[in-house]
């Protein structure tokens, strides 16, 4: 194989990579991103990444390709030596972009990612790894530690003459929209699921698994079956509290009630949902980022309920790390709305109820624009109002081994006078997470005789 057609330094958020572009006889152009010195070429950390325009560039949540790409670059940068080969012509496991989109249509009709290709008369996977092996040899790579969840990449490179000494799984946090896709690849194509399933017993085993899985707890199982309604998304209410039921001290401090392992799980739950919602009081008091940082996953849209737009101009939720939507009322200042809009923030005016954003209208607005799942993280006013209105589908409560004795409770003023009128919960889950315990339930609809309760 000829030398690279061009070689140039490329600065990235993960550091500077030495980029080699190879023009191949097939007509494809492969790009190799090299970090550090290849040296003797032995045991080089390698990611062979199949082109995925929808995931890599457009942020599609149907797959985890974009997250894998960025995680691989980060891992190579941390290693200080490695190669990422970007394989064009591999779009859609080799069927091309247009056919991949056609396969999406079949999947929307009920087919899985394997049967969709078959229904179109296309191969399930037509990728060849010969050209990737040629690129690696041209770079001087002799033996490989391959980052992949796909055993066919391992066998394909070995068949092309490469020596794969180690397989390094790529662990990402799944989204509820790609869980079926990932599960099908594991079941039918022998891929490794990107996250661990086992829950360690209290006091045993590391917080994260030896292969670096985002969480030892199955966040998707805790999330439950996401079933959005026509008029609102699936709503998951999640908060952490002390053993005596406080989510904040009397001064309003609510940070670090739970331990690091539980916070890691919270980030995996964020990565699994379309949106994360809080009231403006939480933003003013805690100034949270509301992004996914503790696991490799996509940050959801941030939604802030703010009836009068008292959102601080320097609030972290206005940062560029994720999209932000503010739901406000007609009482808010139009000039302030325009200011937020100019900063790339979506602002929606919805009806109000009792001086606050009407929650049903707010959720309906989110659903109308495609949001299927919402993770609610606070504060107590929003938590109480959602429960009182019967707008919660799933409740997750983390219990931390700490007693505060005073402070803010998560739920106040539901107006319940009889035990039989209380919010009923079913299908309980109990999961130890580090020193904390996470409890999960489905919230029973108030309709009498609902089969879930």
pTM score above 0.85: yes
* 12 lies in the same domain as 72: yes
**Residue 69 falls within a domain, yes or no?**
yes
Q: Is residue 137 one of the residues assigned to a domain?
A: yes
Q: Is the pLDDT of residue 1 over 80?
A: no
Q: Are residues 168 and 309 in the same domain?
A: no
* Residue 106 vs residue 211, higher pLDDT: 106
Judgement on whether residues 165 and 237 belong to the same structural domain of the protein = no
Question: Is position 101 within any domain?
Answer: no
Dump pLDDT digits (tens) for 224-260: 999 999 999 999 999 999 999 898 877 777 777 899 9
Confidence of residue 452 (pLDDT cuts 50, 70, 90): low
User: What is the rounded CA–CA span in Å between residue 388 and residue 373?
Assistant: 19
The answer to whether 231 is a known catalytic residue is: no
Q: Are residues 147 and 245 in the same domain?
A: no
Strand partners, 102: none
One domain for residues 320 and 409: yes
Tell me whether residue 204 is in a domain: no
Q: What is the rounded CA–CA span in Å between residue 17 and residue 12?
A: 7
171/227 same-domain check: no
Structural domain including 388 reads: 219-443
Residue 373 has pLDDT above 90, yes or no: yes
Dmax over CA atoms of the chain, in Å, equals 80
Task: Please tell me the distance from the alpha carbon of residue 270 to that of residue 61, in angstroms, as a whole number.
Answer: 13
**Would residue 338 count as lying in a domain?**
yes
CATH number at residue 236: 3.40.430.10
pLDDT of the residue at 394: 97
Indicate if 190 belongs to the active site.
no
Same domain, 287 and 400: yes
What average pLDDT does the segment 414-437 reach?
Answer: 88
Picking from 137, 161, 185, the residue at the C-terminal end of a domain is 185
150 and 69 part of one domain: yes
**Domain co-membership, 339 together with 418:** yes
Q: Residue 202 above 50 pLDDT?
A: no
Going through 94-233 in order, the beta strands assigned E by DSSP cover 143-147, 163-168
Q: Which of 43, 112, 115, 125 is catalytic?
A: 125
Q: Is there a contact between 321 and 340 (Cβ–Cβ < 8 Å)?
A: no
Q: Would you say 22 and 6 are in contact if contact means Cβ atoms under 8 Å apart?
A: no
Domain count along the chain = 2
Alpha-carbon distance values, 73 to 105, 107, 418, 453 (Å): 31, 30, 57, 47
Which is the catalytic residue, given 93, 127, 270, 336? 127
């Amino acid at each position: 194989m000829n030398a690279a057609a061009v070689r140039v330094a490329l600065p990235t958020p993960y550091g500077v990579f030495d980029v080699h572009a190879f023009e191949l006889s097939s007509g494809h152009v492969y790009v190799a991103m090299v970090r550090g010195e290849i040296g003797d070429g032995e045991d080089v950390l390698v990611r062979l990444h199949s082109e995925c325009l929808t995931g890599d560039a457009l942020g599609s949540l149907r797959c985890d390709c974009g997250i894998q790409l960025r995680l691989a670059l980060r891992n190579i940068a941390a290693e200080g030596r490695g190669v990422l080969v970007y394989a064009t012509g591999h779009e859609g496991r080799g069927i091309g972009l247009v056919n991949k989109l056609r396969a999406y249509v079949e999947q929307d009709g009920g087919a899985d990612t394997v049967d969709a290709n078959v229904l179109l008369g296309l191969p399930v996977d037509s990728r060849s790894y010969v050209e990737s092996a040629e690129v690696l040899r041209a770079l001087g790579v002799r033996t490989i530690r391959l980052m992949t969840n796909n055993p066919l990449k391992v066998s394909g490179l070995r068949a092309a003459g490469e020596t794969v000494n180690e397989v390094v799984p790529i662990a990402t946090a799944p989204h509820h929209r790609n869980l079926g896709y990932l599960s099908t690849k594991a079941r039918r194509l022998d891929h490794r699921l990107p996250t661990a399933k086992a829950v360690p017993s209290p006091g045993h085993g590391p917080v994260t698994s030896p292969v670096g899985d985002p969480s030892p707890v199955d966040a998707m199982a805790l999330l439950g079956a996401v079933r959005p309604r026509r008029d609102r998304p699936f709503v998951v209410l999640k908060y952490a509290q002390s053993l005596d039921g406080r989510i904040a001290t009397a001064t309003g401090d609510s940070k670090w009630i739970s331990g690091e392992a539980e916070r890691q799980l919270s980030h995996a739950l964020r990565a699994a949902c379309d949106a994360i919602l809080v009231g403006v009081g939480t933003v003013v008091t805690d100034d949270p980022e509301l992004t996914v940082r503790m696991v490799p996953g996509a940050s959801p849209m941030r939604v802030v309920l703010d009836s009068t737009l008292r959102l601080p101009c320097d609030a972290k939720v206005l940062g560029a790390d994720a999209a932000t939507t503010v739901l406000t009322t007609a009482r808010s200042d139009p000039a302030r709305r325009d200011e937020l809009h100019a900063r790339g923030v979506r602002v929606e005016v919805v009806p109000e109820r009792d001086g606050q954003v009407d929650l049903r209208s707010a959720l309906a607005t989110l659903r109308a624009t495609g949001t299927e799942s919402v993770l609610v993280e606070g504060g107590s006013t929003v938590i109480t109002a959602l429960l009182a209105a019967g707008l919660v589908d799933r409740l997750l409560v983390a219990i931390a081994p700490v007693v505060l004795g005073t402070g803010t409770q998560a739920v106040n003023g539901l107006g319940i006078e009889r035990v039989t009128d209380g919010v009923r919960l079913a299908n309980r889950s109990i999961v130890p997470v580090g020193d904390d315990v996470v409890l999960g339930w489905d919230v029973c609809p108030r309709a009498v005789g609902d089969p879930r309760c």
